[in-house]
Structure 1
Amino acid sequence: MTTLLQDTELQQQLSINLTIPIPSDSVIISKVELQELKQQQLKGVYWTMKDLEVRINRKHEWIKDNILYPPKFKNILDVEQGGFVFYPQSKGQTWSFHALKMAEFLDKNFQQIFSQKR
Structure 2
Amino acid sequence: MTVESMQITMPDSFFEAVCQRVKKEMAEEYNNKFDLIWSFEDLRDHLQNKAAWWVRQEVLDRYQDQLDIKNGGFVIYPTAKRVPWRIDAERMADFIRSNWTSFNWSASKREGY
- The match for 1:68 among 60, 66, 75 is 60
- 1:42 & 1:74 partners in 2: Cα distance? 26
Identity, % of aligned positions: 27
Higher helix share: 2
RMSD: 2.4
Report deviation, 1:114.
Answer: 3.3
Moved more, 96-105 or 42-51: 42-51
Task: Could you tell me which runs of 5 or more consecutive residues in structure 2 were left unpaired when the two chains were aligned.
Answer: 1-31, 107-113
Higher strand share: 1
The aligned residue for residue 87 of structure 1 is 77
The aligned residue for residue 68 of structure 2 is 78
Higher RCO structure (Cα 8 Å, ≥6 apart): 2
Q: Quick one: which amino acid aligns to residue 62 of structure 1? A: W
- 2:69 & 2:51 partners in 1: Cα distance? 22
Q: Which runs of 4+ in 1 moved over 6 A?
A: 41-44
Q: Quick one: which amino acid aligns to residue 101 of structure 2? A: Q
Task: Could you tell me which runs of 5 or more consecutive residues in structure 1 were left unpaired when the two chains were aligned.
Answer: 1-40
1:109 partner SS: helix
Query: TM-score normalized by structure 2?
Result: 0.59
Query: TM-score normalized by structure 1?
Result: 0.57
